Structure 1
Amino acid sequence: MNEHLNNQTNEQYFNEYSIQEPQIKQRPPKRSRGKKALAVFAAVTVMAACSVCGYLGGVYANGKAQENGNSANLNNSSNNSNVVYMSNNTSPVNSEGGDELSISEIAAMAADSVVEIVVQSASDTGYIGQTILTGAGSGVILTQSGYIITNNHVVEGADSINVRLRNGEEYEAKLIGTDSKSDIAVIKIDAENLTAAVVGDSSLLQVGELAVAIGNPLGELGGTVTDGIISALDREITIDGVNMTLLQTNAAINPGNSGGGLFNGRGELIGIVNAKSSGTDIEGLGFAIPINDAMSVFDDLIEYGYVSGRVDVGMEMLEISDTATAYMYRVSQLGVYVYSVESGSYAQSAGLKAGDYILSVDGKEISSLADFNSAIDAHSVGEQVEISVLRGKTVHDFTITLTEYVPNAHSSSV
């Protein structure tokens, strides 16, 4: 049984997955399980565009790919041998070679690989009883046999996951694995001969290239196509205490687009949409996980059910960033606290306790969850970290050995 910091509110699963103010009366502060959290922040407030809908979809069919002079190559991995990669055309789509497609051609090729995802979760509302909450997002089919990539925040906490194809067919999906740090999840439906997206190479992208988004904004407008450009590469944003390096686009992204794809001018999948900017007078700031990053997670989730090599500090952390939350948790300082300590972990044996206020990691001052995660992420499994905490009025120093993060269940049916 994990000891935990007293909390007077329960985390709720809400319809709109948003890092902006959600559609609930109260939201708990950001939590992280060491390396395992997710969050958002750039120069603007960033919001996860997942809940009510899905974002972008599929990609090139093999025939059309060969028509354009590209050869579709199958990855040799036994786990994703049906994933198609467009790898031998390395010239930008806006070069004089001119193999860029029209937006309507990209939409026609990609539409069948875009799926709508509907999730349900039971929420205990106390004296009112149990309430079933529903959310929606998108996913992209990556294999003909039914493996689908989406965002972790689309399916996180779901008791059931259902997928609707473009042709209207509906399937119950099995959760294969999730990774909150990268915001990637893999689900599987029992179907064959599906239209899968062709995976591009996000390392070849150039600022100004065409970017096309196909998705299900607001959970009701499946198949919506928006276009824009790649506005920036390697944009660093912080989402729920985790630093992410994302693609930036001005293609219209709306709540519900999360988990869908971002495509280049050849119709290749080059990103998985996961966030957008939100706020007064903010327009055209959408973000996507580069497909090269997403695919490495995809492979691990299929093989292991989790991402191998991730370190685990053995604690769940809690960031308190405003006085109202500090009052709710009955603490006096803003910053990062130990929310719970895992039974049997190195953190527990070292003496760390719930309620400890984090001062520093390896001598580096910690003022936010992003600071803490970055300091932990700088280490590998088996290495040690020095953590200084304030407990009451006394400073304590601890040395913790980092283990590999392995979820309790590598995969589950929902």
Structure 2
Amino acid sequence: MDNFKSYYSGENNNNEPIQDVNFVIVEDTSPTEHSGTSHGSKHKHRFNFRLSKMGIALLVVLCLLTSTVFGFGGAMLANHLSDGSDSFGKRSATTSKLNIANTGTTLELATESDLTIKEIAALNANSVVEIKTEAMVTDSWMQQYVTEGAGSGVVISSDGYIVTNNHVIENSNKITVTLKNNKSYKATLVGRDDESDLAVLKIDASGLTPVVYGDSSALEVGDLSVVIGNPLGSLGGTVTAGIVSALDRSITIDGKSMTLLQTDASINPGNSGGGMFNQNGELVGIIVAKSSGSDVEGLGFAIPVNQVKKIAQQLADYGYVKGRVDTGITFVDLTDMKNAIFYSVRSLGIYVKTVDSELAKNAGFQSGDMIYYVGDKKIESASDLTSAFNGYKVGDKVIVTVIRNDDMKKLTLTLCEKTSS
């Protein structure tokens, strides 16, 4: 809004001068990073009226009262804008400020200009962590040994809650988180969800710098994409940049169909669980995968933050995602010859490994059953099994056809709620 002045003046019938009262309304037009100094324009309006000294005093008091009311209203609006239902994905002193300018009839909210890649990296350097894991593995000769893994994580609260990928910490006996300042902490697994490939960890620390959640639904193809993570498991704090290449990509990972963001920013093993940030330095995705193949580059994927923040909150509150259905059965994928030979089965397929819930036991399932149909869907792969249960709710009854000792049996399974992964 350009600067302007309103002048009020006049004369009486005897040509005697009337005391002038000048109202000057000036908006700050100091130049910002991407704007030059604005030039004011003047608008003169002529009105004939007489003001006494008492009238002037009353006018001054009225102006002061009006200023106080608008100041209080602005403070209440700012407080309302900063209010949230939880503490994840927020900072106590946010860097994304809102400037409220009174334009006379409306309130305009103007955000600060886009940040540079350097500024985005500096803003989130302390919010992305390195994760190292250890797991006990038993090989085909029944020998046990320790394997090590590495990935990335993102700080979502100042008191030590961290979100990462489920596949980064899955089956781990020990999880270690290292901050930007090289301090390391033993992490506790709060909850994990294999369906979304997300997990929440907790370390005993305070005063951390959490990320600020953005809005992944507002992204457009071509927007800036800055990725921070721990590629190769040994290069923590690495920053790469590119653009958002595509939205709502349907990708199948480990037999599960996921809807992901696509970016051409450089991503390598170890980046999983790291952050993808927009031009405002806000978290818009959790890196989950890179397209495989030695000749494939520029194809990285991230879980949209609008999904991440909902699941992370539930994992922190309950340790699981409420409303997810569970069969109460552990399955094993024997669709390749090597695994089929190891388990001594004659037909390739998806088999029941263990029957875990009372509902599944009461339905009549046994270890070694091969899953043939779920409803009217034939099961030939792990992805078939996953998709077959999509759309069902907790408490639904499903007809599952199994092959047992060359006999076909139809069992009625009541689905329970999944409380762990």
TM-score tier after normalising by the smaller chain length = 0.7 to 0.9
Question: Is the aligned partner of 1:76 residue 2:85?
Answer: yes
Match of 2:403 in 1: 390
The SS at the match of 1:377 is: coil
Report deviation, 1:98.
8.3
Match of 2:199 in 1: 185
1:320 partner amino acid: L
Structure with bigger gyration radius: 2
Question: Is the aligned partner of 1:141 residue 2:155?
Answer: yes
Q: Cα gap change, 1:193/1:153 in structure 2, threshold over 3 Å: closer, same or farther?
A: same
Question: Is the aligned partner of 1:235 residue 2:244?
Answer: no
How many residue pairs match? The answer is 332
Are the equivalent residues in 2 in contact too, given 1:83–1:199 (CA < 8 A)? no
Report deviation, 1:81.
8.5
Q: Cα gap change, 1:388/1:259 in structure 2, threshold over 3 Å: closer, same or farther?
A: same
Match of 2:275 in 1: 261
Match of 2:208 in 1: 194
2:85 partner amino acid: N
Q: Cα gap change, 1:81/1:211 in structure 2, threshold over 3 Å: closer, same or farther?
A: closer
Q: Cα gap change, 1:165/1:126 in structure 2, threshold over 3 Å: closer, same or farther?
A: same
Which structure has more RCO (C-alpha within 8 Å, separation ≥ 6)? 1
Match of 2:190 in 1: 176
Rounded to whole Å, the distance in 2 between the matches of 1:310 and 1:407 is 10
1:376 to 379, 389, 401: 389
The SS at the match of 2:362 is: helix
Report deviation, 1:311.
0.8
Are the equivalent residues in 2 in contact too, given 1:73–1:87 (CA < 8 A)? no
Residue deviations 1:246-276 (CA, integer Å, cap 9, x gap):
1111111101001111111111100000111
Residue deviations 1:167-205 (CA, integer Å, cap 9, x gap):
122222222111111111111122222111110011111
Rounded to whole Å, the distance in 1 between the matches of 2:319 and 2:338 is 38
Residue deviations 1:317-357 (CA, integer Å, cap 9, x gap):
22222223222222233222222211x42221111222222
- The alignment's TM-score, normalised by the length of structure 2, stands at 0.73
Question: Is the aligned partner of 1:103 residue 2:117?
Answer: yes
2:135 to 105, 115, 121: 121
Are the equivalent residues in 2 in contact too, given 1:139–1:148 (CA < 8 A)? yes
Match of 1:345 in 2: 358
Match of 1:403 in 2: 416
Report deviation, 1:97.
8.6
Q: 1:13-412 residue pairs with structure 2 within 5 A?
A: 73-77=82-86, 80=88, 99-123=113-137, 131-342=145-356, 344-407=357-420
Report deviation, 1:391.
1.9
Are the equivalent residues in 2 in contact too, given 1:175–1:186 (CA < 8 A)? yes
What is the aligned-residue RMSD (CA, Å)? 2.7
Residue deviations 1:131-177 (CA, integer Å, cap 9, x gap):
33322111111111111111111112222222111112222222211
Rounded to whole Å, the distance in 2 between the matches of 1:97 and 1:143 is 24
1:76 partner amino acid: S
Report deviation, 1:130.
5.2
Rounded to whole Å, the distance in 1 between the matches of 2:97 and 2:326 is 35
Rounded to whole Å, the distance in 1 between the matches of 2:379 and 2:143 is 40
1:380 partner amino acid: K
Are the equivalent residues in 1 in contact too, given 2:89–2:210 (CA < 8 A)? no
The SS at the match of 1:267 is: coil
Rounded to whole Å, the distance in 2 between the matches of 1:228 and 1:140 is 20
The SS at the match of 1:199 is: coil
Report deviation, 1:393.
2.5
Q: Cα gap change, 1:127/1:310 in structure 2, threshold over 3 Å: closer, same or farther?
A: closer
Residue deviations 1:113-141 (CA, integer Å, cap 9, x gap):
11111122334569997533322111111
Residue deviations 1:279-311 (CA, integer Å, cap 9, x gap):
132111111111111111101111111111111
Rounded to whole Å, the distance in 1 between the matches of 2:191 and 2:114 is 35
2:149 partner amino acid: G
The SS at the match of 1:387 is: strand
Rounded to whole Å, the distance in 2 between the matches of 1:398 and 1:404 is 19
Are the equivalent residues in 1 in contact too, given 2:89–2:211 (CA < 8 A)? no
Are the equivalent residues in 1 in contact too, given 2:334–2:350 (CA < 8 A)? yes
Are the equivalent residues in 2 in contact too, given 1:152–1:183 (CA < 8 A)? yes
Rounded to whole Å, the distance in 2 between the matches of 1:80 and 1:197 is 8
Report deviation, 1:245.
1.0
- The alignment's TM-score, normalised by the length of structure 1, stands at 0.74
1:383 partner amino acid: D
Are the equivalent residues in 2 in contact too, given 1:210–1:229 (CA < 8 A)? yes
Q: Cα gap change, 1:194/1:233 in structure 2, threshold over 3 Å: closer, same or farther?
A: same
Are the equivalent residues in 2 in contact too, given 1:321–1:335 (CA < 8 A)? yes
Rounded to whole Å, the distance in 1 between the matches of 2:190 and 2:268 is 26
Rounded to whole Å, the distance in 1 between the matches of 2:250 and 2:395 is 28
Rounded to whole Å, the distance in 1 between the matches of 2:392 and 2:298 is 36
